Amino acid sequence: MTARVLTSRAAAIAGGALLALSPLTAQAAQAAPAPHTASTAQPARTAPAVAAKGAVLVDGATGRTLFGKEADTARPIASTAKIMAASVVLETQGVDLEKQVPVKQAYRDYVTQHGSSTADLQTGDKLTVRQLLYATLLPSGADAAYALADTFGTGATEAERTASFVSRLNAKAAELHLTHTAFDSFDGGGTDTSTPAELAKLARHAMQNETFRTIVKTKQYKGEAPAANGRTRYYTWNNTNQLLGSYDGVIGIKTGTTTPAGDCLVFAATRGDKTLIGTVLNSKDRYADAAKLLDHGFGTTTAKAMKLRALPANSQRD
């Protein structure tokens, strides 16, 4: 799919108040000197230099753009596409988050065939929809995303159901007026594309859901599921987003990495009553980029001292 390149909209406006004084008579002017008026203009913050080819930072409450770099240029988005997959599931009318879904061998085979990140779901285990959302968003499990697509799509076959689910992703994009966002997979492993600005808009929408917010801020999930042999399977999933626990106030959201997309990150942080949401696409240093952007938005200088949270040795990398 050919990315459509739009003109970036980025403007930095620094304004000051101009105080106009009424003319004084010569006599009054001699009697009292004109008062000194201090300028109320605030110096504009220097825009940070980021390695990402595309980036944006927005106010989480209003959506106002605080920083943009090719913010309206469509690029591959890798597994950040799972933000939309999770949103579609959570917004399904009457969704039962405790419904059990049997794991099919096809879900594991998909991971093997595509070299995708995995939640290592075991064939025959029964996981709840809620657990599959954790498995999709934390270790970025393509097997878990497949299970959700197969469950929430419609059709007689797995292929028909997953295609139906992808159609739902595109329908939701249209509903949200994400005109330069397109999905052709349920896990971001295809030619799925969006712009930094539209991904941030999607993230703002997704973060309105309490379950989504709870999941994406979780560093590690531990749970159990009925296994195919009648026993209990124990799962542990670590969040691939290393910005969590590394930069004060970070509350999510999702990593993504493929060869065409490079390293991508959709992130959010709250300090006090201020929430910021941002996106970096195709970055050589996505976490440093995100920290710089958050510093820019919060008016702080903590990025240089940031030390990334280490992931356990057996964790997925995405």
Q: Could you give the residue numbers annotated as active site?
A: 79, 82, 140
Cα–Cα distance between 290 and 292 in angstroms, integer?
A: 5
Cα–Cα distance between 72 and 69 in angstroms, integer?
A: 8
Cα–Cα distance between 52 and 264 in angstroms, integer?
A: 8
Cα–Cα distance between 183 and 164 in angstroms, integer?
A: 12
Q: 251-281 in b/e burial notation, b at 16+ Cβ within 10 A?
A: bbbbbbbbeebbbbbbbbbbeeeebbbbbbb
